[in-house]
Amino acid sequence: MKQLLDMHTWSRKDHFHFFSRFEEPFFGVCVDIDCTMAYQHAKAMDTSFFLYYLHGSLVAANNTPPFRYRIHDGQVWIYDQVNASPTINRPDNTFGFSYMDYHADYRTFEAGARVEMERVRQSTGLVPAVSGENVIHYSSLPWLSFTGLSHARSFSFPDSCPKISFGKIKEQHGRKIMPLSVHVHHALMDGYHVAQFVQAFQERMDAGRDNL
């Protein structure tokens, strides 16, 4: 479900009209996430760390309203929830696109996500996900501990979905640190909102399994 945002009462309406005219309206940041506790929790639960932090990021995104905003025909729509469209790596070092429904309960999310991951791994080609606008585009680069990242973009294709990437974990002073890249449409949000998401994601990574 979605509802139309009232542009007349929106405090960012001037920002929306300004950045909507840009050929490249996306901006991005790269930050480090301490995933020490999250890694331990995932291992204790005998679950995939990838799915664990993917779910944590979805929780943070769904609790940060601008991450649920999308532009369609010049209007801003607010989705009740956003789901995941992550790339899934295959044994032959190619990848395919996937679609995973968001569920607040981790085990429910995990069950559906595992089925989707296996489907993509057993397929060939990109397998475009039939996901619509209410997704976040995810990618994981477990081979690189990056400090910067850009995305391939087709400027003729209208797109306002956030793009989030995860990098290789590195050890720093006994902590596990994971690089995180967040690219978002500037007509829909600013650095303040990205910071809200990052803080919510970090809090999720620090939370115990009882909070899942």
Is residue 211 pLDDT above 60, yes or no?
A: no
In the numeric block, which tokens belong to residue 138? Answer: 């995810």
Residue 198 domain flag: yes
47-61, 97-111, 148-162, 174-188: which has the minimum mean pLDDT?
A: 148-162
CA distance 173 to 166: 20
User: What is the reported pLDDT for 125?
Assistant: 84
Residue 2 domain flag: no
Mean pLDDT of 92-109: 96
Residue 183 domain flag: yes
Domain extent at residue 102: 23-67+82-211
Give the domain CATH number at 58. Answer: 3.30.559.10
Torsion angle defined by CA atoms of residues 148, 17, 68 and 76, in that order, rounded to the nearest 10 degrees: -150
Domain count within the chain: 1
How far lies 197's CA from each of 60, 66, 180, in Å? 6, 10, 11
Residue 102 domain flag: yes
Backbone conformation region of residue 68, classed left if phi is above 0, alpha if psi is from -120 to 50, else beta:
alpha
Angle between the N-to-C axes of helices 36-44 and 191-206, in degrees from 0 to 180, rounded to the nearest 10: 50
Residue 145 domain flag: yes
Residue 146 domain flag: yes
Residues in the chain: 212
Residue 6 domain flag: no
Is residue 148 pLDDT above 80, yes or no?
A: yes
The residues that are catalytic are 186
